[in-house]
């Protein structure tokens, strides 16, 4: 590996980051095809054997060393990494040393496949590791090696719970290597964050670090050039929170880099206008008088809504004699359109929670609330009026950035996830990232039972209740995945009526997450969860559970993204443990009912009503086809956002202001 400088210093300044490339379409196509050729090369087995062989050779004799001798090895390897960078030879030696300390401090030893996964990440690629293969432990190899080379490392996770958990669990290992580690929390003030980011290794969420970067950009005057040129004086440098964008290790990389990249991140400030509530209430009143499909057309599949000509004419007649904001038809249509969206596209306990008189958006990918996030263009205030909440002020945009732009500015980017393969082409095209499949340490023992299709949602829930009771009677722990807060609480209510003890994990009960996950693998435990339990959660089996068949996962609907379904199923049968899954869907599930034509749904309903059973492949295809179409739509959204940013960058290039 060539010597590459990735740390702050005289060469890169106090705030290193990659400058945006102005590549032509021809260059991008050529780079993409070159990446395809490299990806297609069957080198995985060769590289795995080479990396593990070199690390194991470097580990010879380490187990016999006492603490003093091992610390001497730490100093020698740090010196080699500081001097030569992340070259293969010192990286192998560092891996061997880190594995030895992991055994002594954490009582965990990295498997050979984890060594290979970390080597892939250190080289700036994406490692696809099956769920349960120990991605958190794998990250310690890459993070500690880079940190010993003097490179500030950001380990980016999808939520604060995982960031704090991993930082705490891995701290003894980092301490032994002389490295500082901190988890950044959203509740920290600026001074505390600045101190946290000075650590060698920082655990944080993708949203937190992106917004902290935007705040640094505001301080710098949005200069697109090297920030060290702007901050030449010490007192100005001290205002920055981050130390640049040197090396990021993205956990659940497909979720962060793909799923959450459809909308830009916007930093804004609030402006209060007491007269707005009356306007929004009036818009909601008008919207409630309108009827579908006469006045508007609703498309749940695309999550869009548009007024018809009849609806526009009706609104024009209604507001023709009104003054103020209603005098202009364009603004009147916009307000009523937002009101219709608030009423029909955004539902309580599915898209948001109402907590303490405030609207909290639910992240559809993680199932968690985003308490400090708001919808734009008055939609958030419209929903607040709909729910009779205290109304927040309108937001003025101060700075914005897309995930494609933000992560593209890291000098080196690596990541890992269990579901990277379906997103490999987009990761290659957008981030120039190669996906490398890491073989499992042990063969997977997961047993996937039938994909069950029901006519009605009520039939589905009855079957789910029956399945829970049947599995629970054997002592097997059960994890039930639901699509919304409402469904999880409704299922919990009926289980309680039947006298079945259970725990619920959703956006409303997120404070109990650690305890709920810790108990989910115990004998006889029933856990109901939204997609909060789909990524990053490690459910360990209790005593005797493996002999009973391991954790049984029941999915009660299919997510828009197939990868999310895979993540839920991946909660069981981890690291060679036994486990089983079953999926229940109905013709009334939104994924199916909103996608297929009514005539086809009636045909399927009549077929099932006669007691006929569709072939297994067809049942699965009923869900997979909408998922493929929705994934294609979302991919187009991300592509459009990236092109918009590129065009905006070209128009504003002369000013140097991009965010």
Report the alpha-carbon distance of residue 282 to residue 28 in Å, rounded: 50
What are the start-end ranges of the H helices in 576-655?
590-593, 598-609, 616-652
Predicted pLDDT at 232: 47
How far are the Cα atoms of 252, 275, 367, 446, 493 from residue 211, in angstroms, in the given order? Answer: 19, 30, 20, 39, 39
Predicted pLDDT at 566: 87
Instruction: Give the pLDDT confidence of 80-129 residue by residue, as tens digits.
Output: 999 989 999 999 999 999 999 999 999 999 999 999 999 999 999 999 99
Among 23-37, 531-545, 609-623, name the one with the lowest average pLDDT.
23-37
Other C-beta atoms closer than 10 Å to the C-beta of 291 total 11
Instruction: Give the pLDDT confidence of 463-500 residue by residue, as tens digits.
Output: 999 999 999 999 999 999 998 888 998 999 999 998 99
Predicted pLDDT at 639: 84
Q: What is the pLDDT confidence band of residue 21, given thresholds at 50, 70 and 90?
A: low
Q: For a pLDDT cut of 90, what percent of the chain falls above it? A: 53
E strands, 474-612, are 478-481, 503-505, 526-529, 551-555, 578-586
- The full set of domains in the chain, from first to last, is 25-265+402-437 (3.40.50.300), 273-392 (3.90.1440.10), 445-633 (3.40.50.300)
Q: Which helix (H) or strand (E) holds 450?
A: strand 445-454
Residue 28 pLDDT greater than 80, yes or no: no
Predicted pLDDT at 30: 62
Assess contact for 214 and 403: CB atoms under 8 A: no
Instruction: Give the pLDDT confidence of 150-201 residue by residue, as tens digits.
Output: 999 999 998 888 899 999 999 999 999 999 999 999 889 999 999 999 999 9
Q: For a pLDDT cut of 70, what percent of the chain falls above it? A: 88
Q: What is the pLDDT confidence band of residue 37, given thresholds at 50, 70 and 90?
A: low
Residue 238 pLDDT greater than 80, yes or no: no
Among 258, 292, 625, residue whose Cα is nearest residue 433 = 258
Instruction: Give the pLDDT confidence of 562-606 residue by residue, as tens digits.
Output: 888 888 888 898 888 999 999 999 999 989 998 999 999 999 999
Assess contact for 153 and 247: CB atoms under 8 A: yes
Predicted pLDDT at 31: 57
Q: What is the pLDDT confidence band of residue 540, given thresholds at 50, 70 and 90?
A: confident
Q: What is the pLDDT confidence band of residue 147, given thresholds at 50, 70 and 90?
A: very high
Residue 140 pLDDT greater than 90, yes or no: yes
Among 36-40, 126-130, 353-357, name the one with the lowest average pLDDT.
36-40
Among 65-79, 124-138, 362-376, name the one with the lowest average pLDDT.
362-376
Backbone angles phi and psi of 94, in degrees to 5: -65, -45
Residue 653 pLDDT greater than 80, yes or no: no
Q: What is the b/e burial string over 11-35, where b = at least 16 CB atoms within 10 angstroms of the residue's CB?
A: ebbbbbbeeeeeeeeeeeeeeeeeb
Assess contact for 101 and 70: CB atoms under 8 A: yes
Predicted pLDDT at 154: 98
- pTM score: 0.84
If you average pLDDT over every residue of the chain, what do you get?
A: 86
Residue 513 pLDDT greater than 80, yes or no: no
Q: What is the pLDDT confidence band of residue 649, given thresholds at 50, 70 and 90?
A: low
């Amino acid at each position: 590996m060539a010597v590459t400088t990735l740390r702050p210093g005289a060469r890169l300044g106090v705030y290193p980051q990659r400058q945006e490339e102005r590549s032509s379409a021809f260059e991008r196509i050529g780079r993409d095809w070159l990446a395809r050729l490299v990806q297609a090369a069957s080198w995985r087995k060769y590289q795995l054997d080479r990396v593990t062989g070199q690390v194991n050779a470097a580990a010879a004799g380490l187990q016999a060393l006492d603490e003093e001798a091992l610390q001497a090895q730490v100093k020698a390897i740090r010196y080699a990494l500081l001097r030569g960078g992340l070259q293969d030879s010192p990286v192998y030696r560092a891996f061997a040393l880190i594995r030895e300390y992991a055994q002594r401090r954490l009582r965990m030893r990295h498997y050979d496949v984890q060594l290979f996964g970390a080597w892939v990440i250190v080289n700036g690629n994406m490692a696809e590791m099956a769920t349960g293969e120990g991605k958190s432990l794998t990250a310690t190899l890459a993070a500690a090696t880079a940190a010993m080379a003097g490179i500030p490392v950001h380990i980016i996770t999808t939520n604060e719970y995982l960031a704090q958990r991993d930082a705490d669990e891995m701290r003894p290992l980092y301490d032994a290597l002389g490295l500082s580690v901190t988890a950044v929390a959203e509740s920290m003030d600026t001074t505390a964050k600045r101190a946290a980011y000075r650590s060698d290794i920082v655990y944080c969420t993708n949203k937190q670090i992106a917004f902290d970067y935007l705040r640094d950009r505001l301080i710098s005057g949005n200069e697109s050039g090297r920030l060290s040129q702007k901050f030449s004086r010490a007192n100005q440098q001290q205002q920055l929170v981050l130390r640049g964008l040197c090396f990021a290790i993205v956990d659940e990389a497909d979720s962060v880099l793909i799923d959450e990249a459809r909308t830009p991140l916007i930093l804004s400030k609030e402006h209060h206008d007491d007269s707005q509530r009356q306007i929004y209430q009036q818009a909601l009143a008008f919207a409630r008088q309108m009827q579908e499909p006469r006045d508007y057309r609703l498309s749940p599949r695309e999550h869009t809504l548009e007024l018809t000509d009849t609806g526009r004419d009706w609104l024009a007649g209604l507001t023709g004699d009104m003054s103020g904001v209603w005098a202009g038809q364009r603004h009147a249509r916009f307000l009523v359109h937002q009101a219709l969206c608030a009423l029909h596209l955004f539902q309580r306990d599915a898209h948001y929670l109402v907590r303490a008189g405030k609207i909290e958006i639910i992240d559809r990918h993680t199932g968690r609330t985003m308490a400090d996030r708001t919808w734009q263009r008055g939609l958030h205030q419209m929903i607040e009026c709909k729910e009779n909440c205290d109304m927040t002020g309108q937001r003025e945009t101060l700075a914005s950035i897309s995930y494609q732009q933000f992560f593209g500015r890291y000098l080196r980017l690596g990541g890992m996830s269990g579901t990277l393969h379906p997103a490999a082409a987009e990761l290659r095209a957008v981030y120039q990232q190669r996906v490398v499949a890491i073989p499992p340490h042990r063969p997977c023992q997961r047993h996937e039972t039938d994909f069950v299709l029901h006519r009605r949602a009520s039939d589905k829930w009855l079957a789910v209740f029956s399945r829970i009771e049947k599995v629970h009677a054997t002592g097997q722990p059960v994890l039930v995945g639901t699509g919304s807060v409402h469904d999880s609480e409704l299922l919990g209510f009926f289980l309680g009526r039947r006298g079945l003890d259970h725990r619920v994990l959703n956006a409303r009960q997120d404070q109990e997450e650690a305890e709920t996950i810790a108990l989910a693998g115990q004998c006889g435990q029933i856990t109901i969860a939204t997609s909060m339990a789909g990524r990053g959660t490690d459910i360990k089996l209790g005593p005797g559970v493996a002999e009973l068949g391991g954790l049984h996962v029941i999915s009660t609907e299919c997510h828009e993204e197939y990868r999310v379904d895979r993540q839920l199923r991946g909660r069981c049968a981890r690291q060679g443990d036994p486990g089983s899954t079953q999926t229940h869907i109905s013709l009334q599930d939104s994924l199916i009912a909103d996608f297929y034509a009514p005539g086809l749904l009636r045909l399927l309903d009549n077929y099932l009503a006669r007691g006929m059973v569709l072939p297994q492949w067809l049942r699965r295809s009923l869900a997979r086809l909408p998922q493929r179409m929705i994934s294609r739509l979302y991919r187009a959204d991300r592509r459009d956002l990236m092109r918009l940013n590129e065009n905006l960058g070209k128009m504003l290039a002369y000013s140097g202001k991009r965010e």
